[in-house]
Structure 1
Amino acid sequence: MTRFHAAIRRPGTRGTGTRGAGTRGAGFAAALMMLAASMAGCAPADTGLQPDTARHFQELVLGVSQAAAANDHPAALTALESLEADVASAAGSGQVSEERRRAIMTSITAVRTDLTTAIQAAAEAAAKAREHEAAAAAAAEAEKARAEAEAAAKAAQEQVSVVPPPAPVPAPAPEPARGSEGKGKNKNG
């Protein structure tokens, strides 16, 4: 049988899933409860499951639950696959009755469906978030370009209004009128 410890992260580590499972969480919790219930019991005659095997399976189910609670759905799926392999191995060696194996596998299938749905929902949410970020970035870039164009137009307008029109050239001063003085004919002297 495989050991759970290598197959899953411990709580408190960051997962790859998203937060907020909503109503999906209730169905997922129910599937996990059904899986845990299929592991309950100790007496081999009553349950079809050897006590040591039942404890091992319960550890694996706990790992699936903890990973799912931490929204680390890929790790939960990995732990579930480990549980499935261990159930098949235990059934092959007679530690699990065929009836009990079928009940456990039914529960594993229900949990796998919920995990797969959660992984797909997380991927869709991430894609929508990327689209939203891209749209916001494009809008910000367009706003920046608009503001730059507006600033350039305003600067051009100010440049035109700041330069004064050329001053008119003043007319030349009129020359003094020349009279008869100073020409030598009527000189008094």
Structure 2
Amino acid sequence: MRQHDSRRGPVRRGPGTVLAGFLFSAALLTGALAGCGAPAAELDRDAAAQLQSKVLAVTEAAAANDPATSLKLLDELATELDAAASRGAVSFNRHQSVRTSIEAVRVDLTSQQAAAAEAVRAAAEQEAAAKAAAKAAADAAAAAPPPVVIAPAPENPGKGGKAKGKD
């Protein structure tokens, strides 16, 4: 993911930065679900436990550098959150707070997935270019005419190397 620093130009975030951002977002999401000191009406205890287990699954998949699985699990978390809200197990305010955290995590995971896809594409292009260069070199070597070797003129051993009539 590219950002822009007005003093230095484009800034590239590496996978470590993306993972750290994701883990920070996951921590925010877990905190939003924990409900420390919140009124009982904000989040039902059973719903909180169920949602926190989904957050853990998303975190583990992201830590394993598997953004596709992480995004799938994040979708499941969002579905469970919506179901809990429709049952009245999650208040509107808590639902909105957790939804915001889910979307922040989704942005990080999507950028991580895009960066991984770009790395695969670049590696494939590099490999194709190397194969093309090797083939071009082999074709050029095969098309080149063989080197011309000039052999020395044979000597006449019968006469001792002397011409007739010359002394």
Q: TM class, shorter-chain normalised?
A: 0.7 to 0.9
Name 2:44's counterpart in structure 1: 50
Q: Is the 8 A contact 2:43 2:90 kept in 1?
A: yes
Q: CA deviation at 1:41?
A: 3.6
The total of aligned residue pairs comes to 142
Q: CA deviation at 1:47?
A: 6.8
83, 92, 97: which one pairs with 1:89?
A: 83
105, 110, 113: which one pairs with 1:111?
A: 105
Q: CA deviation at 1:22?
A: 2.6
Residues 154-173 of structure 1 aligned to structure 2 (within 5 Å)? 154=147, 157-158=148-149, 161=151
Which residue identity lines up with residue 88 of structure 1 in the other structure? D
Alignment pair present for 1:130 and 2:124: yes
Classify the secondary structure of the residue corresponding to 1:22: helix
CA–CA distance in structure 2, aligned partners of residues 47 and 24 of structure 1: 34
TM-score with structure 2 setting the length: 0.75
TM-score with structure 1 setting the length: 0.67
Greater radius of gyration (CA): 1
Q: Is the 8 A contact 2:19 2:63 kept in 1?
A: no
Residues 3-22 of structure 1 aligned to structure 2 (within 5 Å)? 21-22=15-16
Alignment pair present for 1:29 and 2:23: yes
Over residues 28-80 of structure 1, what are the superposed CA-to-partner deviations in whole Å (9 max), with x where a residue is unaligned? 22111111111114777347111111111111001101111111101100000
Q: What's the % identity of the aligned pairs?
A: 42
Greater strand proportion: 2
Gaps of 5+ in 2: 1-13, 157-167
Gaps of 5+ in 1: 1-19, 168-189
